[in-house]
Chain A
Amino acid sequence: MALESTQTLLSIRHLSTEFTGSGGSLARAVDDVSFDIHPGETLGLVGESGCGKTTTMLSIMRLLPSSGRITSGQILYDGVDLLSLNEREMRRYRWKEMAMIFQSAMNALNPVVTVGDQIREPILQHDLMDHEAADRRVDELLDLVGISKARKDQYPHQYSGGMRQRAMIAMALACRPRILFADEPTTALDVMIQAQVLELLQHVQRELGLSVMLVTHDLGVVAEVSDSVVVMYGGKVAEYGTSDQVYNSPQHPYTQRLLEAFPDLNAPGEVLASIPGYPPRLNDLPPGCRFEPRCDQRIELCSRLSPELEEVTNLDHGSLTSGSKPFLRHLAACHLCTSLEKRQ
């Protein structure tokens, strides 16, 4: 996908989010996370459950549950810090600028309202057009996502899983947002339906010039559609770069092990690498690098000092196709990836 400009649309700067558990215990779900999304870009945010990827997305939309609190950082949307806005001002950004689709389309749709009415609702809510124009817009949207107009007056339970997800996408696009957040949009679907939904997402993205942030645990899905990838582990960004950089030249040991743990269709039967141990609990994080207890390449420094996200220096990028996106550097949070002088 060709990117028209190198200007960022959404810029996350040092975002941290905490949850207060029962008994006042604090869990830092997102810790010092930074990344950028450019117009027309698809960014994949990958990680295992509990790594903070969904919390990151909810923080950006400012839709955290009451136990969650953004403690520091900036979320710059077109130069405006969303964290400085009050709730009323924030409402102008949701739907019209940033829209969201969820994993479980059945739970996200209202079971007693027809699909057509549900898609129409945000259009009317935001006073974008009158009823007649809104009806036309609904038809247009259904056409875009490949649902026949005849099914507009049906209820979500009459739709199959794939069609519900299509309806969700139509609803998210209702107010012509510039950025779409998709939280595990294909996780509950069969591979063939997943392929259909991903194809649809790519199609609407091209048609409308959308930016997409795809939040998922599935490395395969991200590799298929993303321009750039953020790998999260234990609430922190472990690695950040273009898809090609991250998948073909992974620098963080976590990314490396994760890719090795993914079964390869083309080499059946080979022993699958696994990562020993379990991801850290967010209320009981290791003092140094989050991945240190499970890392097979750890050095003494790792248990003392949490590494910063820095540009990978000891690396030859000659063979990689990063040239097409010069603005995107390859970053990793690992002491091994930064130069020796810095370590000392």
Chain B
Amino acid sequence: MIEESTTPTEPMLQVDQLVKHFPVPQSLWGLLTRRKAAMVRAVDNVSFSIEKGEVLALVGESGCGKTTIARTVIGLEKPTSGQIIFNGHLVDVVARQQHPEFAPLEPGSPGTPEQKVLPFVSLRRLHQKAQMIFQDPYESLDPRATIFDIVAEGLEVNGLARKRSERVEKVQRALDEAGLRPAEDYFWRYPHELSGGQRQRVVIAGAMVMEPDLIVADEPVSMLDVSIRADILNLLRQMRNQRGVSILFITHDMGTVAYFADRVAVMYLGRIVEIGPTRQVLQNPLHPYTQALLSVVPVPNPRLRRKRVILQGETPNPIHIPLYCRFQPRCPRAFERCTLADPSLMQPVRNVSGAVSGGEQHQAACFLLE
């Protein structure tokens, strides 16, 4: 167990100035001439935190960096800079040195003062206490393993339930809670015998059997039909309510956000452009990008066909992020200031439409708020 060093006010997950750059594969000529590799700035200085039992949604279009954040938080990617503090423990590549199977840290990387103070969490511990749910339940399950083996794998790998009877009991409870009842009927089945919704339930059971503190769910329902989707969302919400697990919910679908998340962070080109409580962000969006995104979400009511703000063109390539405000080239409301400086997240003095906004937590990175 991680020592209970956290106070109730401390967030479950804190991400500070996270940066993740990927080098673009170079041509042989580029390598020979030692040309500097171009960088994909997938995540470009992102900070946020998730409280215990809170659901934070990261929303954005493909390529905005939301999945990279998820993978970095869970330890699948090494951050270029910045730090991730999980339950009061620093998640860092330094921890990898304690596990020889992981790549060692490059020599000479500097440690921050906090690193010396905060206890590290090993990746193994992190992988127990932070679980990931992937988008495609057809690909995330081993086709040749039985449902029992799939759900019990995490327990076995981490040596959590050494006795078989213990494992059976835990797997049974996890499947039951995930809505696969009676659980025994599913033990010896294979993934191909199950429907998409049932598979995603197996994935959730496999995550919950580890009794995690944090679940990182990367588009968990986008492959599912509408009637099944609601079931899975209700299940995740029930897990949150009963177990108090925090959820980082990655999605491109504003509709599920509205239903599911406590807070929303809207991402554009590797950066959070707006963050705040769900209701406030959806009903009173501050950033022109959020406003446009919300205006094009299809609404299942033909009487509510609205004026859509359709942004022209496509999101620029994250190798060439526009200078200054990164949204400015596509922004319908850009003005002079936007081409002179890069806005950071700020609270509105008044919101864009002129009304005063009350929420302290509601911030956006836009000069219109000044």
Chain A residues with CB under 8 Å of chain B are: 48-49, 160, 162, 190-196, 199, 217-224, 226, 243-244, 247-248, 257-259, 261-276, 278-279
Contacts and interface: CB of A to CB of B under 8 A. Distances in A.
B230 A192 contact: no
Interface of B: 61-62, 195, 197-198, 225-231, 233-234, 252-260, 278-279, 282-283, 292-294, 296-303, 305, 308, 310-312, 314-315
Contacts of A191: 61, 252-254, 293, 296-297
Nearest to A254: B227
Given A190-B62, A192-B310, A269-B279, A261 B227 contact: yes
A184 to B, nearest CB: 13
Contacts, number: 132
A269 B308 contact: no
Interface class of chain A by DSSP: loop
Contacts of B278: 268-269
B197 A244 contact: no
B225 A217 contact: yes
A272 B230 contact: yes
Contacts of B293: 191-192
At the interface, is chain B mostly helix, strand, loop or mixed?
helix
A162 B227 contact: no
Contact of A261 (B230, B298, B301): B230
A276 B299 CA distance: 24
A287 to B, nearest CB: 22
Given A218-B298, A263-B259, A265-B254, 13 more contacts: A194-B296, A199-B308, A220-B255, A220-B297, A220-B300, A258-B227, A259-B300, A261-B227, A263-B256, A265-B255, A265-B299, A272-B233, A279-B225
B230 A274 contact: yes
B310 to A, nearest CB: 5
Which of A199, A223, A271 has most B Cβ within 10 Å? Answer: A223
Contact of A190 (B228, B233, B252, B282): B252
A266 to B, nearest CB: 8
A221 B255 CA distance: 13
Contact of A217 (B226, B292, B296, B311): B226
Contacts of A259: 300
Contacts of A194: 296, 298
Given A244-B303, A261-B227, A270 B296 contact: no
B230 A270 contact: no
Given A219-B300, A220-B297, A262 B226 contact: yes
Contact of B259 (A190, A192, A195, A269): A269
B211 to A, nearest CB: 25
- Which 6 pairs between the two chains have the least Cβ-Cβ distance? A220-B298, A274-B230, A195-B296, A268-B258, A263-B255, A48-B225
B259 A268 contact: yes
Contacts of B228: 48, 274, 278
A264 B1 CA distance: 40
Given A223-B298, A223-B301, A263 B314 contact: no
B225 A274 contact: no
A239 to B, nearest CB: 14
B298 A243 contact: no
Nearest to A265: B258
Contacts of B300: 219-220, 222-223, 247, 259, 262
A241 to B, nearest CB: 11
A251 to B, nearest CB: 16
A265 B314 contact: no
Contacts of A224: 298-299, 302, 305
A160 B316 CA distance: 11
B195 A278 contact: yes
B61 A261 contact: no
Contacts of B259: 263-264, 268-270, 272
10 contacts: A48-B228, A191-B254, A219-B226, A224-B299, A244-B302, A248-B303, A258-B227, A269-B279, A274-B227, A275-B231
Contacts of A160: 314
B294 A258 contact: no
B299 A220 contact: yes
A276 B278 CA distance: 28
A195 B255 contact: no
A144 to B, nearest CB: 16
Contacts of A244: 302-303
A192 B294 CA distance: 10
Contacts of A221: 298
A264 B254 contact: no
Contacts of B226: 48, 217, 219, 258, 261-262
Contacts of B62: 190
Nearest to A277: B227
Contacts of A272: 230, 233-234, 259
Nearest to A245: B302
Nearest to A226: B302
Given A192-B61, A192-B296, A247-B301, A261 B314 contact: no
B294 A162 contact: no
A309 B314 CA distance: 44
Contacts of A270: 259
Contacts of B229: 261
Contacts of A217: 225-226
Given A48-B226, A192-B61, A272-B233, A243 B254 contact: no
